[in-house]
Structure 1
Amino acid sequence: MYMHSREQDNTTRYSALDQMTDNPFHQWEDHSHDSSMLTLASGFLSDEQFYMILVFIIFTSQLINICSIIANSLSIAVFVNLGFSEPSNISLTALAVCDFTLAVLLTWNNLCFWLTYRNVRLPFHGLNVNFLTGGAQWTFLSSTVAWITAFISFERCLCILVPLKVKRLITPRGTFVAMLIIILLTFCPSFFIYIRYKFVWVFNPYLNVTILNTIPVNSEFAILFEKISVVICGVIQPLLAFSIVLICTVLLVVQLRKISSWRISIAFAKSQEVQPVENPAARSSAAEARISQKEERLVKLVATIATIFIMSYIPTCIGIFCFAIFDEFNPLGVYRRLFIVFGCITSLGQSISGSVNILIYYKMASKFRSVFRHLVRLDRQEQERHELE
Structure 2
Amino acid sequence: MNQQDLITSGQMAFLFFSFMTGSSIVNVPGPVIGFAHNGAWISLIISNLIGLLLLTCLLMLHKKHAGLTLVECSRKAVGSFVTVLLTVPFIFYLFLMVTWIVIGVGGFMNSSMMRETPSYIFHFFILVTAAWTVRAGMEVMARMFVLYTIIVLFFVFIVLALLFTNYNPDFLLPILPDGIKPVMLGSYFTFGFPFAEIVVFSMLLPYVNKESSSKLPKYMVTALIFNGFVLIMTTLCTLMTYGPLATKLRYPLFAISRLIDFADFMQRIESVVGISLIAGSYMKATIALFALNLMMSRLFKTQDERVFIYPITLICFCLSIVMFDSQAEFDEKVSLVWPLLNLTLAVIPFLIIASVSFIKKEG
Q: TM bucket by the smaller chain?
A: 0.3 to 0.5
TM-score by length of 2: 0.35
Larger relative contact order (Cα-Cα within 8 Å, sequence gap ≥ 6) = 2
TM-score by length of 1: 0.33
CA radius of gyration, larger in: 1
